[in-house]
Amino acid sequence: MALGRISALRFAGGTPDRLVVAPIDLRIADPHIAEEIYSGRFAMGGSMIDTSGGSPFQIEVANQSFNRSLHGFGWLRHMRAADHDLAFANARALVDDWIVVEGRELGGLAFEPDVLATRLIAWFSHSPIVLRGADHGFYRRFLKSIALQTRYLKHVAGAMPGDATRFKARIALAMASLCLPSSAGAVRAASRNLDSEIDAQILPDGGHVSRNPMVLIELLTNLLPLKQTYINLGQKPPRNLAAGMDRMFSALRFFRHSSGELVLFNGASAVSADRLLGVLRYDETSGTAFREMPHSHYQRLSSGNAVVVADTGAPPRGGLSSQAHAGCLSFELSSGANCFIVNAGAPVVSHTSYADFARMTAAHSTVTLGDRSSLTFSHSEFLGPIVTGGVRRVSVESLDEEGKHQGFSASHDGYVGRLKLLHRRKIRLLSSGHELQGRDEILKPDETAPGADNQTSAVARFHIHPTISVSMDDDGVVHLTAGDGETWAFVARDLKPNIEEDVHFADLAGARTSKQITLEFDVGTQSQVDWKLIRTNLPRA
Render pLDDT for 488-504 as a digit per residue (tens, 0 to 9).
999 999 899 999 999 99
Report the run of H or E that residue 150 belongs to, with start and end. helix 136-157
Rounded to an integer, what distance in angstroms lies between the CA atom of residue 454 and that of residue 525?
8
The DSSP bridge partners found for residue 519 are 460
pLDDT of residue 379: 86
For residue 67, CA distances in Å to 43, 70, 222, 375 come to: 11, 5, 21, 31
Counting as low any pLDDT under 70, the low residues of the chain are 1-13, 351-352
Mean pLDDT value across the chain: 94
pLDDT of residue 381: 84
DSSP state of 415: E
pLDDT of residue 274: 82
pLDDT of residue 273: 81
pLDDT of residue 12: 63
SS3 207: coil
pLDDT of residue 14: 72
Return the percentage of the chain with pLDDT > 90, whole number.
87
Residues 6+ apart with CB under 8 A from 269: 214, 345, 346, 347, 348, 505, 506
- Buried b / exposed e over 19-34, threshold 16 CB at 10 Å, is beebbebbbebeeebb
pLDDT of residue 2: 43
Residues 6+ apart with CB under 8 A from 222: 121, 168, 171, 172
pLDDT of residue 277: 85
pLDDT of residue 3: 47
Rounded to an integer, what distance in angstroms lies between the CA atom of residue 178 and that of residue 230?
7
pLDDT of residue 107: 87
pLDDT of residue 5: 58
